[in-house]
Structure formats: C-alpha cells, structure tokens
Amino acid sequence: MMRLLVTLVLASLAGVNVCRAENATNPVIWADVPDIAMIRVGDTYYMSSTTMHMSPGLPIMESKNLVDWELVGYAYDTLGDNEALRLENGRNAYGAGSWASSLRYHNGVFYASTFSSTTRKTHVYTTKNIETGPWTESTFSPSLHDHSLFFDDDGRVYMIFGVGDLRLVELTADVSGIKRGGVDQVIIRNAGAVAGGRIGLSAEGSQMVKVDGKYYLFNISWPRGDMRTQIVHRADKIDGPYEGRVVLRDRGVAQGSIIDTPDGKWYAYLFQDHGAVGRVPFIVPMRWEDGWPVLGVDGKVPMTLDIPAGRGGLGNIVASDDFDRRPDDRELPLAWQWNHNPDNQHWSLTARPGLLRLTTGRVDADFLNARNTLTQRTFGPQCSATVAIDVSHMQDGDFAGLGAIQKKYGFVGVKKVGSVKSIVMVSAETDRPEEVASVPLEQNVVHLRLDCDYRNRADRAEFFYSLDGEQWTPIGSPLKMAYTLPHFMGYRFALFHFATKTSGGHVDFDDFRVQERAPQ
C-alpha cells in the first residue's frame, strides 16, 4: 500500500492529469533552479545549476524538450572539507559553497565547472558519461567568478569571468589550470554600461557561445531603480573588440544564454527571482536579426511557449520517500540534499530498516547550525509535505521535526525537556527564533505537516500536527517567508534533529510525502 501511495504522489508531481494545457508555460520549473547552464548533445539537453552549500552539489538535469527535466546526478558529493562546509566552530557556507556553473561537451567529455569563495578555488569536473559518472575533479586557484568555460575551434581553452570588467584567461589543454604565458586580459570594460542608467550590478553571469564564426558573451546587468536585464556583447575574435546591447528587459527575467534545437529553432534559457520559492527557470523564444539575438515576443517574455506541454510537473526534482530500500535502490533519491556536508556516522537507513534515523553527534545552538539536516526544494504554486516521526529515543534538550529552511525559518517539531515531550512551532521570521506555540505530547509517534503557498507572491508557510495521521491541527502562526541574501536560496523542506544539551539521542522518520495540495 505504501508504494502505491508514493507512486500516486509522484504521478501527481509529474503532471499526470487530464486537464493540462496543450503548450508548455513559464516558469518551466516552479522551484529554485538558478544560474542555469545548458548544452545540447544530439537530441538531448543537459542543464546544471547552483545549490551552493548543499551536498551533494552541482546538479545535472536532462531533457528532451527543454521543459520536462529529470535529475540524473551531481558533479560532486562534497565540494570540500573545511569548518564552514561542516558547520563547525561557528562557521557556515550559507549563501556560499559553489556558485554559477558552466557546462560543456568537448571531444566526448562532459565538463561541469564552478567556483567557490568557501574553498577559494575553481573546480572542474569531468566525465564521459554525464548520466552515470563517475566524475573526476581538478581544482586550481584563483576562484574565477561566474566563469564561462569555452573550447574554441582552434583547440585553445578559455574561461571568461568577472564582474563589470570581464576578463579572458587561457587554460591548459586538459583544463587543469591557467596556462603559463597564455592570454590573460580584460576584453570588455564596464560591460554593464550598455544597459544604461546608474550602475547597480554592472555585469556578471558570463556565458559564451560561438555562432557562425562570431562570439557572443551573455551577461546580466541590473541598473539602479530598474530590473535584472539581459545583455550581450559580440565580436569577430574572442579577445574583441566587442560591441554590446540589451537583448531583454522584461519581468526581471535574465541571466543565462541561448541554445538551438535539432530542427534549427533557438531559445534563451534564463531565470526570474520569484520571491521565497527562489529563482525559477524560464525558456524564452528568440530569433536572429542582422547577426544579433532577439529575445522574446515584441520584447516581452511569453508565459505560454510554442513547445508542447509534455508531461508537465517537476519530475524527480522533488520526491516522496518512504525510506524503504530495496538492494538495487539508491541510498537517497536525487531530490534530497544535505544542508552542508553530512556526518555519515550519524544518519542511517539500515539501523531501523524502512526508516531514516538521525542521531545527534554533537551539541548545537539552533536549527541553522544543526548537522545532518536533510532537505529538498519546496515548489509553486502550492506544495505540502508530511512526515511521521518516532521520538521515543530523544534526549533532554533535543529538537526534531519538519522545517522550512532559510534565514527566516520556521518549523514544527518535538522538543524534549527532561522527560517531558511537547509539539512546538518555532518561527525565526523576526530573525530571532521564537517558540510560538507548544502542545503536550504523550505518545512516541507524531505526524507533522508543512504547507507553502506561493500564489501571487503570498510566500506563506503554515504548520500542522496530527496524532493519527488523519486529523490535522494547525499550530503556531503562519510564517511570512522571505528570500534573503545571506542564504541566497529558496525555501526547502527540511528533516532535522539536533541536541542542545547532550548528544547521542536519535529519531526515526517515516513516510515523507510531498504533493501539490495539502491533505484534506
């Protein structure tokens, strides 16, 4: 019965319904998938994105039609191993970790590269099989901001990077480092000036493509008092001179590049800041005019595309999980990512088969400092997650439950003080965690629920509990979610357990279910 329920939920998330529209609509993924880079190999598109402090990271997705995407893997399990990535000694990698990636395919090899202020390095991952790996890593210094890896027709390899003044640097042929004596020069100064107005964010997010012998460098700019704006510079030689123009200024949809289809159509792939849910991908039709890309329809981003709707939904980017593993299953579905690097000694799917066990391995001050918090994306326009939790082995001072993680977080969970357990709702909407409500708990298994509403930028989360898994009771107050730059990420569902007094307690999670609508 459990597998049937999971199958039905996944079918719902995959858009299996009889009323779906004939054409795809924007955003193509209503969830936090920012800083996208994309390639096409034959009839298959691949996309990478940013997940920063999450582990594993640098997600790789696959599509046949630009609108239906499936996670196929990650380029790395952990970005590095230091105090910030381990959430140790008061350090963290919130809003940091790895940022915008570049994705390429060259001579039978896939390249996914990124950079990090947390490791202070540029990271390059390679594989011959993007769907199964394995990935091999090489790193070098310095950390090249928002770079675009580019293989030119003459065999030379470059990265274009920077903010405002955009720089070209030549790499070694094996992409393992900067080439001694190679090209290293600014190719566009004050690139954001082409967007006009007073400069706010000058230009970043470089992505280079070469079409019909010309070089096109796409960037985002953000003039003060205006909106995110997509710009492009073109040149006949990679080192310039470049001329630039604005190619899209609508709805704040920007940052990305362009891609062609097997039948010769062209599209831009960009994203939009969409409030607390995060930065969501858009596909925008484009055409060529006098050697320049022209984005949108009459300069506007269409909400309905000339692409068949396909299956719709989020595929496996989000996933329910009953934690019941067969021998051939992945340990965790790809939708799950740990908040920072996990401590693998203190979580298990085998200690009590069919459940996820989180054991505290240290004492932490609060939810955001907790190790081994397991997360996946929330999504729009509405979403809901439920989970059952066995708290019979919590210790004095422990907290465990289901949260909406961001700087201004909220959670519903169980707190234990001495031998007394209570269901609590905690809110950090004011930046100071506050226990908004508390209800005595006399049993060991409780069901928790979190609903998110992103319709019309409501950005509201509500919290519930149930003693039997059937009748739900609201607890606390709604959380006004807010996308904050210190975390730089849309809200995520989070399963957590942390100790504030003594480590060693454990809780067991069962039957995590995510769906588009809240249970009735």
Q: How far is CA 7 from CA 17, 56, 377, 505, in A?
A: 14, 25, 19, 33
The first and second tokens of residue 478, run together, are 């709604």
Mean pLDDT, residues 86-103 taken together: 97
Q: Which of 9-23, 53-67, 336-350, 468-482 has the lowest mean pLDDT?
A: 9-23
DSSP assignment of 339-388: ESS--GGGEESTTTTTSEEEE--SB-SSGGG-SS-EEEE-BSSEEEEEEE
Angle at Cα 272 formed by Cα 266 and Cα 273, nearest 5°? Answer: 170
Handedness of CA 135, 139, 143, 146 (dihedral sign): negative
The reported pLDDT for the residue numbered 12 is 42
Question: Which amino acid, 289?
Answer: E
**Measured distance CA(513)–CA(25) in Å, rounded:** 26
**Measured distance CA(396)–CA(439) in Å, rounded:** 17
Give the pLDDT band of residue 8 (cuts 50, 70, 90): very low
pTM of the predicted protein model: 0.94
Find the length of the chain. Answer: 520
Handedness of CA 103, 109, 115, 116 (dihedral sign): positive
The reported pLDDT for the residue numbered 328 is 80
Q: For 268, how many CA atoms within 13 A lie in the half-sphere containing its CB?
A: 35
Q: Which CATH architecture has domain 37-260?
A: 5 Propeller (2.115)
Q: How far is CA 193 from CA 163, 186, 225, in A?
A: 12, 15, 15
**Measured distance CA(179)–CA(171) in Å, rounded:** 5
Domain boundaries, the chain: 37-260, 337-515
Q: For 515, how many CA atoms within 13 A lie in the half-sphere containing its CB?
A: 18
Longest dimension (CA), the chain: 75
Mean pLDDT, residues 133-161 taken together: 98
Q: Taking 50 as the threshold, does the pLDDT of residue 6 lie above it? A: no
**Measured distance CA(82)–CA(453) in Å, rounded:** 36
What would the pLDDT profile of 362-379 be if each residue is shown by its tens digit? 999 999 999 999 999 999
Closest-CA residue to 476 (of 430, 413, 385): 413
Query: In whole angstroms, how large is the CA radius of gyration of the chain?
Result: 23
What would the pLDDT profile of 283-311 be if each residue is shown by its tens digit? 999 999 999 999 999 999 999 999 999 88
Closest-CA residue to 195 (of 159, 165, 227): 227
Question: Which amino acid, 75?
Answer: A
Q: Taking 60 as the threshold, does the pLDDT of residue 50 lie above it? A: yes
The first and second tokens of residue 93, run together, are 């990698």
What would the pLDDT profile of 409-424 be if each residue is shown by its tens digit? 999 999 999 999 999 9
- How deeply is 173 buried, as exposed, middle or buried, from its count of CB atoms within 10 A (0-12, 13-18, 19+)? exposed
Q: In this structure, what is the dihedral angle of CA atoms 126, 129, 133, 139, given to the nearest 10 degrees?
A: 0
The reported pLDDT for the residue numbered 201 is 79
- What percent of the chain stands above pLDDT 90? 92
Q: How far is CA 157 from CA 16, 187, 188, in A?
A: 44, 16, 19
**Measured distance CA(261)–CA(42) in Å, rounded:** 9
- What percent of the chain stands above pLDDT 70? 96
What would the pLDDT profile of 465-517 be if each residue is shown by its tens digit? 999 999 999 999 999 999 999 999 999 999 999 999 999 999 999 999 999 97
Q: For 4, how many CA atoms within 13 A lie in the half-sphere containing its CB?
A: 1
The reported pLDDT for the residue numbered 18 is 35
Please, are residues 99 and 146 in contact by the beta-carbon 8 Å criterion? yes
Residue for token digits 């390639």?
Answer: 39
The reported pLDDT for the residue numbered 3 is 37
Q: Taking 60 as the threshold, does the pLDDT of residue 9 lie above it? A: no
Question: Which amino acid, 229?
Answer: T
Residue for token digits 């920012």?
Answer: 34
Please, are residues 216 and 274 in contact by the beta-carbon 8 Å criterion? no
Q: For 9, how many CA atoms within 13 A lie in the half-sphere containing its CB?
A: 25
* CATH topology match: 37-260 vs 337-515: no
Mean pLDDT, residues 147-162 taken together: 98
User: Which string of b and e fits 272-283 if b means at least 16 CB within 10 Å?
Assistant: bbbbbbbbbbbb
Please, are residues 31 and 271 in contact by the beta-carbon 8 Å criterion? no
The reported pLDDT for the residue numbered 227 is 94
Mean pLDDT, residues 110-129 taken together: 98
Closest-CA residue to 92 (of 511, 505, 489): 489
The reported pLDDT for the residue numbered 330 is 82
Q: How far is CA 360 from CA 17, 345, 350, 395, 496, in A?
A: 42, 10, 16, 10, 10
Q: Say yes or no: domain 337-515 is CATH 3.90.1150.10.
A: no
